Amino acid sequence: MTFCRTHGLPIPRINVMMFGHEADAVFDEEKVIVEIDTWDTHNSHQSFTSDRKRDAVAAEHGFLTVRLIAELLASHPKDEAASLLRTLANRRIRG
């Protein structure tokens, strides 16, 4: 939430059950799911496969999944926020 406020992002719902899985953040208006990934928790074939299946199910329901890398959020927060802001704006325009 602090990240969103600091960078002018809308406030998403956090840790939401979506289509049988917990999503890190959901921007409902734009139909965007944000997952924050780290190498430590996503460094296996099983995790890679599971993530893609989850993304496909979300897409079937009209949601775009954006996967952010925790390390980049920490080291380049302005760049990551700007990218997410553009994505959200594009989704509102196309809405």
- Write the single-letter amino acid at 69: I
* Per-residue model confidence (pLDDT) at position 44: 74
- Write the single-letter amino acid at 31: K
Residues 43 and 34: their CA atoms lie apart, in Å, by 18
Reported confidence tier of residue 48, pLDDT bands at 50, 70, 90:
confident
* Residue 16: both structure tokens together: 């939401």
Indicate the domain borders of the chain.
2-94
Of 39, 17, 40, 15, nearest in space to 25 by CA: 15
Please identify, in words, the CATH class of the domain defined by 2-94.
alpha beta
HSE value, Cβ hemisphere, 13 Å, CA-based, for 55: 12
Tell me the per-residue pLDDT of 54-84, one tens digit each, with 9 for 90 and over: 999 999 999 999 999 999 999 999 999 999 9
